[in-house]
Homo-oligomer: A and B are copies of this chain.
Amino acid sequence: MQRKLPHSNLYLREEELRRGIELLYFAYRDFTKDPDDILAQSGFGRAHHRVLYFVGRNPGTTVSGLLGLLRITKQSLSRVLGQLVDEGYVEQKPGEVDRRQRLLYLTDKGEDFEKKLFATQRNRVAEAYKKAGPEAVAGFWEVLLNIVDEDQRDTVLRQIEK
């Protein structure tokens, strides 16, 4: 596969930085489109998706765990999470060790829905991985990880290597 390599010595030139910034914007724009369409049909939005996704990936997580991962306020999360609980996508169980906590789990309904949402992004990313090849994928991961705030990289690594 022919690939244009960034300039070996001066690869930090304006043009190449612009390219990364723009690709990130366009890729993210399209990446979020498919699940957004499905969510809209159920009266949900992107925020519901994130909650479903991270609760699915981290069953038994607490509200504050989710707040730390999503980095939004509890008032914002509360509205979204409340809807998901009300409509039976997420269930809360009191923590056994610390009974102030509400441990979060997807219900069967929530799992089915999350799978449906995931499938669209999964297909898109799988296609992109296939076209780009394994080495490109490794580079993709590495650059993205280094774009994350330095003090968040450990948290992200723990999350993605779960």
Do residues B148 and A143 form an inter-chain contact, with CB atoms below 8 A?
no
| A interface size (C-beta, 8 A) | 62
Q: Contact at A145–B27, with CB atoms within 8 Å?
A: yes
A25 and B28 alpha carbons, distance in the complex (Å): 8
Given A144-B23, A152-B26, answer yes or no on A17-B126 (Cβ-Cβ < 8 Å): yes
Q: Quick one: copies of this chain in the complex?
A: 2
Is A64 in contact with chain B by the CB < 8 A criterion?
no
Nearest-neighbor residue (CB-CB) of A33 within chain B = B149
**Complex: how many Å from CA A26 to CA B156?**
7
Contact residues in B for A57 (Cβ distance below 8 Å): 18, 22
A3 part of interface (Cβ distance < 8 Å): yes
Contact of A129 among B12, B29, B121 (CB under 8 A): B12
Does A40 have its Cβ within 8 Å of any Cβ on chain B?
Answer: no
